[in-house]
Amino acid sequence: MKTAYTADQIRQAEQALMARLPEGTLMQRAASGLASVCADLLGRVYASRVVLLVGSGDNGGDALYAGQRLARRGARVEAVTAGSKTHEAGLRALLDAGGRVLDPSAAGAAIETADLIIDGLVGIGASGALREPYAELAKAVAAARGHVVAVDVPSGVDASTGRVEGAAVRARVTVTMGAYKTGLLVDPGAAYAGRVELVDIGLGAYLPDPDVAALTGADLDVLLPRPRNESDKYRRGVVGVAAGSDLFTGAAVLAVGGALRGGAGMVRYAGRAAPVAQVRSHWPEAVVTQLDAPSIDRVGRVQAWVLGPGLGTDDWAHELAAAVLASDVPVLIDADGLTLVAKDRTLLRRAAPVLITPHAGELSRLIGAGRDAIEAARLDHARRAAAELGVTVLLKGSTTVVAEDSRPVRVNTTGTSWLATGGTGDVLAGLAGALLAQGLSCYDAASCAAYLHGVAGRLAADGAPLAAGDVASALPAAIRAVTSTNS
């Protein structure tokens, strides 16, 4: 599990650790790790041209001491000082090693042509949008031809939330100190961070419970259910899919596809005539019930339901949603199911668990917040929705996040923007439903599904456009990639 922390959490841990160490130790550890990542990127340090962007705080101090180390190895290091003050000892160290301070008027040209730019403008001490001249420097970095390395967090990205309010440095690599910051894992911040390298400065023992967590392949290997000798199709879990309509038949096909590839023992599909015909012809493996009334009485027992993709929002769909939600098993609600719930909250009054899988637009209808506001602050809104609605929330988008009351938000780091194409959400719903049917909690099913969906998206795309069906087809390879045994 990769864990991440807010700026306040990091600061408190740092203070506890600093109290036990000689002054300056942590900054030297940070600068040493930073310089070594920079040297690797440069390949040949001697005679390389390095520009340091130095703010008024300790983030600038890290950059100056790393600059000192590179200057000692023969790099030509120039510092652009942006603040009203500069870390004094760090600046002296740089100058003693042969570095120099650049006149601000020369900063733009130097940034553009340097082999490496180190962004030490602001770190966890920043508040609000970058002020001038910081913002201007961050914009100038966009024209840089060399490597851009951010110290701790890219300046302009809020370390605690990933929010970006104005100009921000777009880094190729972010070298972060002691522990991941939440803003490095959640968009829009994550998109500015590039590859994140963690430098161990000894903070581990002082860190509290994390603010957010991201599953790794090893976690999936532990969490994903596997069939055992005594397994049969019923014991492995049966998932019901209530999706599709005369207008949207494809959503039913894709959701069933995701469910079939998600490891359930059996998939039961229930719907109207047109999607039934499509599901039958695409998936002979599914057990299909054509509904002549909006009821699940004839469908047979399931361990979890997927409700909503392409279902429509008419009275018939509402009645079917009510019937599914009246069952005593976990229900995943997606797409049109969410529109129905937004109109009629009483549908959510049930004892068994509910997992909702909205994108920002769907969540905005559920909690009355603007779509843009949700995208800018995904964590806050997912947390709020989980608390207000009393459900587990998987908020889809460029960074998918999973929130449940009183638990660290799980953020997914495997996604790819190739997934931004119609129907991939239906596959995700089917997959997560299959994991619920196999006994995973909403929290684990949602976060494992997001992980596998992202990996499958990458495998299916492989640098070229994908169709949603390809994601379902790539799910077995994604599962194989994270599970070490096939038993």
Ligand X SMILES: NC(=O)C1=CN([C@@H]2O[C@H](COP(=O)(O)OP(=O)(O)OC[C@H]3O[C@@H](n4cnc5c(N)ncnc54)[C@H](OP(=O)(O)O)[C@@H]3O)[C@@H](O)[C@H]2O)[C@@H](O)CC1
Residues making contact with ligand ADP (CB under 6 A) = 335, 359, 396-398, 400, 415-417, 419-420, 422-426, 428, 453
Among K ion, ligand ADP, ligand X, none, what binds residue 416 when CB lies within 5 to 8 Å by partner kind?
A: ligand ADP
Q: Which of 33, 123, 250, 312 binds ligand X (CB under 6 A)?
A: 123
Question: CB-wise, 162 or 294, nearer to ligand X?
Answer: 162
Q: Is 134 in the site for ligand X (CB under 6 A)?
A: yes
In this complex, which beta carbon is closest to ligand X, that of residue 27 or of residue 347?
27
Which listed residue (2, 49, 72, 131) binds ligand X by CB under 6 A?
131
417 binds, among ligand X, ligand ADP, K ion, none (CB under 5 to 8 A by kind): ligand ADP
State in angstroms the smallest separation of the CB of 470 from ligand ADP.
Answer: 13
Note whether 118 binds ligand X by CB under 6 A.
no
Minimal distance in Å, beta carbon 120 to ligand X?
7
Kindly state the smallest distance separating residue 129's Cβ from K ion, in Å: 14
Closest Cα partner for 434 from 215, 222, 228, 241?
A: 241
Binding-site member from 80, 122, 302, 472 for ligand X (CB under 6 A): 122
Q: Which does 119 bind (CB under 5 to 8 A by kind): ligand ADP, K ion, ligand X, none?
A: K ion
302 binding ligand X? (CB under 6 A): no
The residue (of 263 and 310) whose beta carbon lies closer to ligand ADP is 310
Q: How far is the CB of 348 from ligand ADP (least distance, A)?
A: 20
Contact between 334 and ligand X per CB under 6 A: no
For ligand X, the closer of residues 177 and 475 by Cβ is: 177
Residues 232-291 that bind ligand X (CB under 6 A): none
Return residues touching ligand X (CB under 6 A). Answer: 14, 18, 26-27, 30, 55-60, 62, 83-84, 122-131, 134, 151-152, 177, 201
